[in-house]
Structure formats: C-alpha cells, structure tokens
Amino acid sequence: MGLLIAACASLTVWLWLTLAQGMFWRTDTRLPPRTAPARWPSVAVVVPARDEAEVLPRSLASLLAQDYPGEAGIVLVDDGSTDGTAALARRLAAEQPGLPLTVLTPSDPPPGWTGKLWALRHGITHATRSAADTPEYLLLTDADIAHEPDSLRELVAAATTGGLDLVSQMARLRVESVWERLVVPAFVYFFAQLYPFRRINRPASRTAAAAGGCVLLRTEAAVRAGIPDSIRQAVIDDVALARAVRRSGGRIWLGLAERVDSVRPYPALADLWRMVSRSAYAQLRHRPLLLAGTVAGLVLVYLVPPAALLAGLAAGRPAVAAAGGAAWLLMAGTYLPMLRYYRQPAALAPLLPFTALLYLLMTVDSAVQHYRGRGAAWKGRTYARPGDA
C-alpha cells in the first residue's frame, strides 16, 4: 500500500510539474525579438579569470573578435592565477586585433567576498572610473565562455528593444565525454525546473535568476542594485545578481543560448561532481532541514517512478506499475526537449532517474564537505557561509 501511495504521489507531482511549473521543459526561450538601436550604446566587457590559461585562446579570442558597431572594450581581471593567465591574455590581445583589452591584477579578496565577485568589483570600478566615459552596459562573462562574433550586438539589441536591465543567456555547456552527456543536459533541465525561464521573464514575476556565464547588465541598474557589493558573499552569484536587480525595480530576461558556448571540459565524473557539490548546499542556504526535504523530494520525484514500475511488475501489482510507469514517462518526455537542444540521443531520457541519484549524492556530499570545513571550495579557495563570513 505504501508503494502505491508513493507512486501516485510521484505521478501527481509530475502532472503538476508538466502542466503548472512554467512550462520549464520547453527549450524555445531564446533572445526576444529585437531591432538595431538608432545609436549603439557603449559596453564594457568584464571577465573575471582565475587559472584560465587552458580556455583563454578560445574564449578571450572570441571576445576580441566581437563585431560591435558601438564603443566597447574588455577588462580581464586576473584573480590570483598561477598559470600565466594575465600574460597569456596580453599576448592574445597583441596577436589579434579587435576590441581593446585591459588586464587588472587586484589583491586577494578580503573576508566576506568571493573571488569572482571581488574580481568583478575591480573590473566594474575600472570600467566606470570616469563619469564622462562610463559605459551604458556591462557584459559580465566568464573566462570559459566563447561568443560568436555577433553575440554582443545581439544581446545589446535585445536589451534596448525590450527595455531590459538584464539580459542573460545560459551558455551551451560542453557535452563530449560520456559523463558530460549523462550529467550536463540534466543540470540545465534541473535549473529550468527550479527557475522556469518563462516565469522569470514575466515583468511582474517574483522568480529571478540569471546564468553567470553571460549577463548583459545596464550600468544604471547595477548601480541601483548595488552590484556587486550587495551580493559580495554569494556563492551562487548569478541568481543573487538577478534577484538584486529585480528587487531594485529592474526588468530581467533569461533564456538558452544559441551562439554562446562554454569551452570548459568536464571529462570525468569527478570534475562534474566538484562543479555541482561546491555550491549545492549553498543553494539550500546551508540548512539541514532544506537538505532533508531536497533528498526526500528527489527520491519521491525521480527514484520512486522506476522503483514502482519494476516492483509493481515483479509483484503483479498493476496499479503500482501503472502509476510508476506514467510518472517515469512524463519525466522522460519532459526531458526530451533538453536532450534535443544538446543534440543528444533520446535513449538518454529514461536514464534521468540515475542522473538524479548522482545529483542527490552530490548534494549530500556538498553538505558533508561544508561541515568538514571544505564547503563551497573552488580553485583553491573555500568560502564560509554568509553568516560566518
């Protein structure tokens, strides 16, 4: 009886997710309709970088090659790199004509700041140091993100046409290794389930999120929202940034990218594990009750359906098998559009429960590492939760 109740509960959740959670499973939210502005506004591209020499030849080269009709420049902030990131950036700029590049090397972040946001602060301060030359927009982009030559132009056109203060695109992540194919599309699928793009893009919505790899931000909106100082402790800085902009009255937009790609490889499961576990417990605000609820929710929503189907078939309980199978079918069906977006075979859709189990274990590991004093660790730095900073 208990398994039947659990299977029916899971099916109910999947019916609600499919029909009432902002159509999170659709992947057609791309840059909104746009036209070229009469005057192209000035833009400063700010790139925080820490030990990024491996990816800069593709990512920075793509920024230097931007075909932007207005005034634009790049500020790369070397956040304590030990692999020659700053020297490589200068060499790439010297070898490739294009947008002008400035390389900054600030001191280590003080207590209460994450390294990325401290780097962004220096880059934004440098770009806006003169009132007469303050850029009208800031493109905040990660050092592992490659942009097609028209990326900046299209982002600015979308912002000016729609009167948007923040335009963010979730870069298409790399999917080449076996583990990338299994884990990466699900990562974006789970994100969209938590933060449905259509709901975010409604002006009156309270849901807010952005994708930190590609954020075009109106400078006035950044000042109004106190960016980045107001979110200086945020480990999940992109969501915090979008919330700050929305709270200050700004209009935001988030969608999937077509011509913006992450070039960072995650060839092994351990690489993907670190990517997720470093911030999973921070997403739960370091609260054990939220962790327990998340684990229970993942089990009910993703693990009960296949268990109910198999147990129902084995025990000759058709009602249990039918409820579990229907829930699993909805799960796989809503995952298919994301697999198509990532050009992956539909055969991966039924494997989503296994991937969800991996994410469950990553989330638990994130909490364990936090209580061992190694939580929110990234590239040699470990950040305390905001209340402890």
Q: How far apart are CA 183 and CA 174, in angstroms?
A: 11
- The answer to whether the beta carbons of residues 343 and 337 sit under 8 Å apart is no
Torsion of CA 312, 12, 203, 30, to 10 degrees: 30
Q: What share of the chain is helix, strand, coil (3-state, %, to 5)?
A: 55, 15, 35
Q: How far apart are CA 388 and CA 116, in angstroms?
A: 19
Confidence at residue 28, expressed as pLDDT on a 0 to 100 scale: 97
Confidence at residue 338, expressed as pLDDT on a 0 to 100 scale: 98
Write out the chain's pLDDT in tens, 389 residues. 899 999 999 999 999 999 999 999 999 999 999 999 999 999 999 999 999 999 999 999 999 999 999 999 999 999 999 999 999 999 999 999 899 999 999 999 999 899 999 999 999 999 998 766 899 999 999 999 999 999 999 999 999 999 999 999 999 999 999 999 999 999 999 999 999 999 999 999 999 999 999 999 999 999 999 999 999 989 889 999 999 999 999 999 999 998 999 999 999 999 999 999 988 998 888 899 999 999 999 999 999 999 999 999 999 999 999 999 999 999 999 999 999 999 999 999 999 999 999 999 999 999 999 888 776 555 655 555 554 44
Q: How far apart are CA 280 and CA 289, in angstroms?
A: 14
Confidence at residue 388, expressed as pLDDT on a 0 to 100 scale: 45
The most distant pair of C-alpha atoms in the chain lies apart, rounded to whole Å, by 76
Q: How far apart are CA 202 and CA 191, in angstroms?
A: 18
Q: 10 is written with which tokens?
A: 């899971």
Q: How far apart are CA 246 and CA 203, in angstroms?
A: 9
Q: 199 is written with which tokens?
A: 């709901």
Confidence at residue 385, expressed as pLDDT on a 0 to 100 scale: 53
Structure pTM? Answer: 0.94
Q: Distances in Å between the alpha carbon of 145 and those of 94, 164, 365?
A: 20, 22, 27
Q: How far apart are CA 385 and CA 111, in angstroms?
A: 11
**What's the sign of the alpha-carbon dihedral 73, 79, 84, 85?**
negative
Confidence at residue 235, expressed as pLDDT on a 0 to 100 scale: 85
Q: How far apart are CA 382 and CA 277, in angstroms?
A: 13
User: For 287, how many CA atoms within 13 A lie in the half-sphere containing its CB?
Assistant: 7
